[in-house]
Amino acid sequence: MTTAVWWILTQRGGRVERLSPAECRRLLAASAVGRLGYSTANGPRIVPMNYTVVGERLIFRTTPDTEAGRCADGAQVAFEVDQVDEFLHAGWSVLVTGEADQITTRELQLLDVFQVPDPWPEGERSLFLQLPLTALTGRRVHPG
């Protein structure tokens, strides 16, 4: 491959746009499934998770005795939501980082039924965790 062809190939792709916190919040609120990242004694893990956005927090549910429940509660976590169009080579990604805390019984009672995450897998999901929307980053790749 000639140098000129190689240089052209390295310059391909769409324009990358950094998203404002307001746009990140809007995109988060429009989706319902993301990926929770947390640390374990055996290294990092990433698992899909249903969620909702209520005010200035992202809420998700799991089971207390799962690895995610044991490792995310009270810990620094990452939660990523994205949408990708493989045909157009475009999409967006939003990342929320911070400490996941349990939601109190009182806070749960104040939630509207539509604000409670509805996990897809069967079984009881009694551990409600929240992640503040204070550390948000996002980007969008526009078609090239």
What CATH fold (topology level) applies to the domain 12-141? Answer: Pnp Oxidase; Chain A (2.30.110)
Position 5 confidence tier, pLDDT thresholds 50, 70, 90? low
Question: Which residues sit opposite 132 in a β-bridge?
Answer: 57
For the entire predicted model, the pTM comes to 0.86
**At residue 62, what is the residue type?**
T
**pLDDT of 9 above 60:** no
* Nearest alpha carbon to residue 84 among 94, 69, 76, 71: 94
Mind listing the pLDDT tens digit for each residue in 10-63?
A: 666 788 999 999 999 999 999 999 999 999 999 999 999 999 999 999 999 998
Query: Distance of alpha carbon 98 from its chain centroid, rounded?
Result: 11
Check residues 144 and 82 and name the one with the higher pLDDT. Answer: 82
Please spell the DSSP secondary structure of 13-71, one letter per residue. SPPEEEPPHHHHHHHHHT--EEEEEEEETTEEEEEEEEEEEETTEEEEEE-TTSHHHHH
Q: How confident is the model over 74-90, as a mean pLDDT?
A: 95
Residue 50, pLDDT score: 94
Residues 61 and 55: their CA atoms lie apart, in Å, by 17
Model confidence over 105-127: pLDDT tens digits? 888 777 877 787 777 666 677 78
